[in-house]
Homo-oligomer: A and B are copies of this chain.
Amino acid sequence: MTSAERVAVLGTGLIGTSIAMAARAAGEEVRGFDPDPNVLARAAERSGLRPGASLAEAVAGASLVFVCTPVPSVAGVVAEVLAAATEAVVTDVGSVKSHVLVEVERTVPVGDRRRFVGGHPMGGSERSGPDGASPSVLDGIVWVLTPSPDTKEAATARLSVWVEKVGARPVVMDPFRHDRLVAMVSHLPQVASTALMGLAATEEAGEPDILLLAAGGFRDLTRLAASSPHLWSDILLANRAQIAEAIDLYAKRLSEIRDMVIAGSGRDVERAFAEAKEARLTLTAKPTVRTGVSVLQLAVPDRPGALADLTACLGAAGVNIEDLQIVHSPEGGRGTVYLTVVSSAADEAARALQGRGFEPLRLA
């Protein structure tokens, strides 16, 4: 249906190498460059990309270029590529979009800018570098495309076709709107988690027992606090105005709950909690970043091998487990399993589980 692209990947870390793998799997020619020769060599080994001796060599003759460098360097590399590869559609994979656009508009002639489409594949992994790469990093994810008013429609369309070809879901969105939304649902959660962990750690200095009382809920809330400080510092600074607004809105909402509690307004507190609960239950039933998935809820049987039974009967039924979470109560202890499977396999999964004596409840 579409002609193959000649792909170039600049920055061959986890996302860059995963893109190279997906392009190779689609039968495309891929060149790559990374300033770290070891990273580049490993990426070549894992993905089959042809390493270039320089950025210029890697992008020569390319029809589609992915800039996968760290957030602060994206705009500069994009400008360089637009000048060097005069026929290519150029995109990037940074978590913040408007700051790149502003910089590109400042430094790149409008004619070249027409070939630039911002992008944000909303996938990733705890791992990093080419060794963490996998074509599955992109599989089923939302891949936001953020063309500017200058971008040619044909450029966005080409990138969109390619994104679908590798199994991701293209979503076209204004770059400023993208930054506002990710500030709220991606960057703010990170800040909220880091602030909570930092606060508890500070308190621990005077109260060494505090973490003895920290149950499952605290652990859930602070898991993100283990993320890369360097990566997140770059992201937050690149999106600073939107982050500040999101933090302000969050602080305002916290303060509203605080005031209801202090006033002893049980009915108001309960209403605020009920609204959030309703929204969260809707979210559980909703595909978020991955589309086309269903969630099954079931009680955790408390005996050795119970989880093995659960996963084995799904394996035997040929159902892949997309995600499995054991959710604890607010105060820790035993919990409930939430299983995520692709929607087309949900009925089969439920039958297999019932056959083994579990009682799955399908959410949505």
A interface with B by C-beta (< 8 Å)? 95, 122-127, 134, 136-137, 141-142, 144, 171, 173, 177-178, 180-182, 184-186, 188-201, 203-204, 207, 209-234, 236-237, 240-241, 243-244, 247-251, 253-255, 257-258, 261-262, 264, 266, 269-281, 283-284, 286, 288-290, 299, 302-305, 307-312, 314-316, 318-321, 323-336
Chain B residues within 8 Å of A236, by CB: 261, 269
Do residues A276 and B225 form an inter-chain contact, with CB atoms below 8 A? yes
Partner of A197, one of B144, B178, B279: B279
Do residues A321 and B333 form an inter-chain contact, with CB atoms below 8 A? no
Do residues A218 and B250 form an inter-chain contact, with CB atoms below 8 A? no
Closest chain B CB from A195 CB (angstroms) = 4
- Known A-B contacts A95-B331, A307-B321, A315-B305; the reply to A266 vs B211 at CB < 8 A is no
Do residues A124 and B237 form an inter-chain contact, with CB atoms below 8 A? no
Do residues B137 and A254 form an inter-chain contact, with CB atoms below 8 A? no
Partner of A134, one of B253, B284, B286, B334: B334
Copies in the complex: 2
Do residues A334 and B225 form an inter-chain contact, with CB atoms below 8 A? no
Chain B residues within 8 Å of A262, by CB: 240-241, 244
Closest chain B CB from A204 CB (angstroms) = 8
Partner of A217, one of B177, B224, B278: B224
- Known A-B contacts A218-B186, A223-B327, A250-B254; the reply to A212 vs B314 at CB < 8 A is no
Do residues A184 and B200 form an inter-chain contact, with CB atoms below 8 A? yes
Do residues A192 and B247 form an inter-chain contact, with CB atoms below 8 A? no
Extra contacts besides A197-B283, A212-B289 (4): CB < 8 Å = A186-B218, A214-B283, A226-B284, A227-B273
Partner of A181, one of B210, B312, B332: B210
Q: Which of A191, A196, A228 gathers most chain B CB within 10 Å?
A: A196
Closest chain B CB from A25 CB (angstroms) = 14
Do residues B248 and A258 form an inter-chain contact, with CB atoms below 8 A? yes
Q: Which of A209, A257, A318, A329 gathers most chain B CB within 10 Å?
A: A329
Partner of A186, one of B122, B180, B217: B217
Closest chain B CB from A166 CB (angstroms) = 14
Do residues B244 and A331 form an inter-chain contact, with CB atoms below 8 A? no
6 closest cross-chain pairs (CB), A and B: A308-B315, A229-B273, A305-B315, A201-B279, A123-B333, A308-B311
Do residues B186 and A249 form an inter-chain contact, with CB atoms below 8 A? no
Closest chain B CB from A86 CB (angstroms) = 32
Do residues A213 and B185 form an inter-chain contact, with CB atoms below 8 A? yes
Partner of A220, one of B223, B286, B331, B333: B223
Chain B residues within 8 Å of A307, by CB: 311, 315, 321, 324
Can you offer 7 A-B residue contacts whose CB atoms are under 8 A? Answer: A122-B333, A141-B333, A181-B207, A190-B217, A192-B196, A212-B288, A251-B255
Chain B residues within 8 Å of A280, by CB: 197, 222-223, 225-226
Chain B residues within 8 Å of A195, by CB: 250, 253-254, 257, 276
Do residues B226 and A288 form an inter-chain contact, with CB atoms below 8 A? no
Closest chain B CB from A333 CB (angstroms) = 4
**A241 CA to B216 CA, complexed, in Å:** 23
